[in-house]
Structures are given as C-alpha cells and as structure tokens.
Structure 1
C-alpha cells in the first residue's frame, strides 16, 4: 500500500483514548501490540484508509491518519482490538484538522503524557511511524508533521526544563520501591520484559537503588541474555518463571502480552511480594491483589506520585507551548505552499511551451538567450510561489507570470 501524496488538512484526524478518561483495564482492551498493528495496516484498505499510524503505549491508544470521517478509523481499530465501538466512542476524543496537528506536537513534547515531560513517548512515536512507513502508510504530510513535531520536542527539551529531573513511568516505579522499603539490601528483584520500558526500568534500578541482584526474563530469551551481560545481571528462561517469582521479593512487569503472564496461582504461599505492573493491558492477573502477601501497583497508581520535579515542569509549560506554536506556524506555511503545487507545475509547463507561440516569438525576438531559459522560468515560479503564499489570493496569475517572464527576458 502506498499512501497518497496530496491530502487536505481538513481530512486529518486523531482518534484515541488515554489515561484522562479511562483506567488501565479499559485501555488494555484497545491496546495494540505488534501483531495487531500489522493487522490494522493490512485491513486499512477495507475501510478506505491509506495513510495512518497507530501509537499504543501504557497510557494511550491513538490512531492518526486521513479519512472521510472518524468512524472509519474507529471501526478499523475496534475490529482488531478487544474493545467495542460503543465503549470507545463514549470515552474517546476525536480531533480534526489543525486541532489534530496540534495534538501530535503536544504528544511528542510530553505535554500530554501521564507524567508531564515523560520523553519515553518520543521513542514510541518514532517506532510507530517507522512501522507504518515500512508498509507505505506515511505520505508527505504525515512525514512532515511528525518530523516537525519531533524537532519541536527536541527544542523544548534543550531550551526548557520540562524534562528536567528524572520523572517517567519507569522512574516512578523506582520511587515507589524506595517509599515502600526502607532498604532493599538483600532483596531479590525480578524484571519480566526487556523492551524499551523494561530496559529503562532496569537501568534505573541499578542507578538509583544501587543493586544488581536482578534477574531478567523475556519472551525472547536472547534479548534478556544480551541485556544481562551488558549490565552484569542474571537472566533466566521463561520456562523458569515460576521458580523466579517464588524467589523474588520485588517483581516488575513490562511485557506486552495480551493476557496476564503472572497469575494468582504463581504467587500463593510464596512470601511477601511487591509487584509493579507497567504493562497495558495488565500482565499480572487482577485477582493477585486479593492475596494478603501481595502489594500490586499499576501504571495509573504510579502516575499519581508528585514531587518538586513535576512542579518545576509545570512552570515550563507556557514556554513549551510557545515553541510548539512557532513550529506549527512553519508547518502551516509549508502546507499553504503545497496547495499551490498543481498550479505551479501547470504554470511551468505553459511557460516552457510558450516558445511555440508565434505571437510570443515575435514579441521576444532579439533579446531571449536560449541558454538562460530554465533559469528564467524557475525565477518566475519562485516569485509566483512567494506571492501566492504572502497574498493568499488567486487571479490572473498566468498573465502575471507571463509578464514577469518577459521582464526577466528583457533584462537578459
């Protein structure tokens, strides 16, 4: 599937649900894993969609793309996920046109993150777009919007303190552990899942808890082995999950399995456990919280942690929004110019064909050097593009361009 190159901003939509109106359990029904993402792109044509990408994280599931109406995108998402259309519409937000564009920037900058300024979203956004691009679903408009949003995000990170300190979902897990235990000396830690969030969590465990008594388990064992070797930790195969659950006192789960990986039965009569589930959908069976020996925490509870760092970040929001506005203005200038591309191409063709016109040949006789023809035509095109962008008006532009061309010819 190759995305169309010319799109109208009025047909650009964002549909999604996030932490603001839904809890993690509901978001889990609409979460999109790698296989489901591929299925969405495969089925997109059945819903008359050819340019889109999906962003699915622990605190949001969103689809960005071009459509005749938002219902096409909602139907596609709900066809592939466990959620239903009625529930999605009750809890979703739908943004269109420039409002949808502004949302892309807000997400990329971490302004819409569950923990303000959490820049893990940048890597997640890049991966989401990369997957869609590989399948031919990213056209020139989406490419430009995402690149501009990422540039704005980088400027915000460099020019403000909105990402200052160390606050993210993975770091919030460390904060929780520090508050729960006076000391973790001698406590065994099990980390299940070594994807991006798992890796970040693992490094935070080492850096901020000063421990290496950590065992890594991943569905693909090789990934766990590589990370364990890199950080001087221990890894174990998934087949030894139960034994490692029994041995650990702190368990962190960062997997993307559609069903719980850790069950209540795994935890019965195994001693006191602190379990932090960073996964969406949940990868720890909810009934595990009923056990007296288990303290189960999920991403929504972690996001409620507040500290001075977050307060400082809040103060930086106005500056971040100013930077976003500057980048959006540049984007809209580019978009306005693109609307004139068909006309400018037609104009260029007509100017090149003018040399077959006898009236023109008579008028231009004696002062048109052939070797500068392309340069003069391009001068006219550039000048006309600038006028159209600045004046934003149409009219007798062919005649104006012809007059310009003749003037350039006389000058040469």
Structure 2
C-alpha cells in the first residue's frame, strides 16, 4: 500500500496572540500590526516555515492564525516586525492549537471574546485580515473554508439571537459617552481624525445618533476624507491644518492608524477645554496630554468598561450563540475529515479500478463488460470505506477491507 500523507494537518494549526484580558492598551499597542508591517511579516513567512496565515490586529487584540511546525515560528514573525519584545509577548500571550484554535476563531468572530460582548465590528475586521493575506497567496483551502464557516456562524448568531443588541462596538460606545457627558447643539464642533474602517463607522454613528453635521474630517489621504465628507454632508480639511482644527474643536475623536501619536501635547496647551476620545491602538494621542487640566482624555479600554442596560440581556444569549457555534464547528470538522481521508479514498478507488481490469483478464472475461456497473461497484466500496474512516480513523485497515469487500461482490 502506498504511503498516504495528509497535506493539511490540523495539529499544526495555531492561534497565538495577546488581548485585553492580560494586557493594557499601551502594551497591546507595541504589537499592533498595520498594512506595512503585515506585508513585511508575510514576506518573511516562507523563510520561517509558515506558508498559510493571517493576522488580526484590532484595538482589543493582535493574533496570528496559521500553520507552523512550532508556534515559536509565528511568535518570531510577529515580534520581528513589531515594537514589543518577544519576552513580554510570551509572558502575556495565549497559544491555542488544533480544535482549540478553531473554537477560538469562532468565538472571536461571534463577538464572544470581545471586550464589548457581541462586538459587531470584529467580523468586518476579520474579513479584512483574511482578504489581505489571500491577496498575497497566504490563505490555503483550510483557512478559507474555516473563515467561511466562521462568517456563516456570525451571520446566524446575529440573525437568531440578540447578542449584538445595544452598545456593541467601541465606536458606538464613544457616541454613548459623548451623549452622556456633553450637551450637543449646533455650536459644538467635532473633529474626527482618521477615516478608515473604524473612523467611517464612528463618523456615521456621530451623524445618526448625535444628529449633528458640525463635524470636520481629517485623514492622511485627503481624498478619503473628502469622499466621506461629501457622502454625509460634512466638512473636511487637509492634514497640514490639523493643529488649527484641534484648537477650534470641542470634541476630538481619533481613529487613525499611525504607529506614532498624531495629536501631541503641544497641540493642546492653551487650546481650551477638550474632550478627546482615542480609539487607536497604539494610542494616537500623546500620553502626557492627559495631564493637562483642560483635557479630558478617554481611551478604548475606558470605553470598553462602560456597560449599558442591555448587557445582561446579551449575556443571556451566550448559550444560544455557543450552540450555533457548535453546529457550525461540527459541519466544518466533517468537511475537514472528508478532506483528510481524500488521499486514502482516491488511492482505494484507483487500486480497485486496476483490480477490476486484472480480475476480468485473469478470468478471461470480456473487457467490454458494462463500465458503469464496475464503477457503481467501486463507488459502493469507496462510500463504505469513507464511512468507516470517519468512524475509526484506521486508514490501513479500511484499505485492506475495501479490497476484500470488492472481491466479495460479484460482477
């Protein structure tokens, strides 16, 4: 019998990362990954024996999902292209393997592992993470199929439960905080810095829930700021006018994706009273700004601790979400096991095809015997072997059994 090797080994699938549970935002920021560092990591991946992976980097977590003979390879990749030390990362990180890594990804996609339970933004962030790696050839069939199941699970949970009811994202929490602490009128000027995914969601929430259009948008790419401003009927300004816009604004929200602070303490001295909400990881408002008496600075961890009146109701939906995840996980594992057995089943089918010809030759039978009957016989044996393989995982035994069964069925 030929030696059969499963090309996708679930025991080499890992999820490694850090999140809000064990690390503060300033630590998480040291391991944040933007598109540039993500590209560099993927370029290094093959030389580190990693050929299928993606990175999820949000305000709550930085995680790598991928295949490696050792999780150290994934940790090395991440720490090579981020500011934090490998030692600190290993002290704070979690390493999940095989089915545990699969379950973790399902929980993340559903918002069950988010700092705000039921966070609906996470699935969009996952989509972007997988798309980024896929465009660069780093998503194998296992990761693609797994993500599709995670996506389907998230949709079912959203449609069939109220896990995502109420305040379920950091950007929406920012709006709730503003509503609770500031009286919004036509004279209150809001500045939003950064119009990426989080910035766009925040901007739309500002318009929808604060009922104001006294909002100015600034982005590194002025065209993106202009496009969103025109779409929502707002103002925009170029980055070189940032300091002037800061001085004239009452509320500033920062959702930029810069590795360094874009709003400095020097911008805020003698600039009047400001409420500043920093939604960025790493922080994009200089840390010393919070010491200024005229500045109230709120970050993502503070926002995530704010509970709303629907939290207990959402917690009650966790068992329903877990049941949906279990069903989707079972479906995925059924696909995986079928694919895992495919090399053995193909080998059985090929061998039986050759044996059927030899059997007819040795018996001096007409080789023009109806081919469809022979194929039906072979398929019946292969189907039986597939069922037994899923039940016992004994490939060699099933291989011999299939041959014996083939000869026991008369043509």
Give the TM bin, normalised by the shorter chain. over 0.9
Report the Cα distance in structure 1 between the residues aligned to 2:98 and 2:197, rounded to whole angstroms. 32
The 5 Å alignment of 1:62-73 reads: 62-73=63-74
Report the Cα distance in structure 2 between the residues aligned to 1:138 and 1:5, rounded to whole angstroms. 17
1:141 equivalent to 2:142? Answer yes
Counterparts in 2 of 1:399 and 1:139: CA distance versus 1, 3 Å: same
Report the Cα distance in structure 1 between the residues aligned to 2:32 and 2:318, rounded to whole angstroms. 28
Report the Cα distance in structure 1 between the residues aligned to 2:47 and 2:114, rounded to whole angstroms. 32
Structure 2 gap ranges (5+): none
Match in the other structure for 1:33 = 34
1:209 deviates by: 0.7
Deviations 1:120-163 (A, max 9, x none): 00010011011111111111211122111111111111111100
Match in the other structure for 1:275 = 276
321-330 or 54-63: bigger deviation: 321-330
1:399 deviates by: 4.7
Report the Cα distance in structure 1 between the residues aligned to 2:304 and 2:320, rounded to whole angstroms. 23
Match in the other structure for 1:150 = 151
Match in the other structure for 1:378 = 379
Report the Cα distance in structure 2 between the residues aligned to 1:185 and 1:274, rounded to whole angstroms. 17
1:168 deviates by: 1.1
Match in the other structure for 1:288 = 289
1:111 deviates by: 0.3
Deviations 1:218-260 (A, max 9, x none): 1111111111111010111111111111110000000110000
Match in the other structure for 1:348 = 349
Report the Cα distance in structure 2 between the residues aligned to 1:317 and 1:138, rounded to whole angstroms. 30
The 5 Å alignment of 1:135-284 reads: 135-284=136-285
Match in the other structure for 1:7 = 8
Report the Cα distance in structure 2 between the residues aligned to 1:137 and 1:307, rounded to whole angstroms. 40
In 1, are the aligned partners of 2:218 and 2:236 still within 8 Å (CA)? yes
Report the Cα distance in structure 1 between the residues aligned to 2:251 and 2:299, rounded to whole angstroms. 14
Task: Supply the RMSD in Å over aligned alpha carbons.
Answer: 2.0
Match in the other structure for 2:110 = 109
Match in the other structure for 2:129 = 128
Please, what TM-score do these two structures have when normalized by structure 2?
0.94
35-44 or 363-372: bigger deviation: 363-372
146-155 or 115-124: bigger deviation: 146-155
In 1, are the aligned partners of 2:276 and 2:295 still within 8 Å (CA)? yes
1:356 deviates by: 4.1
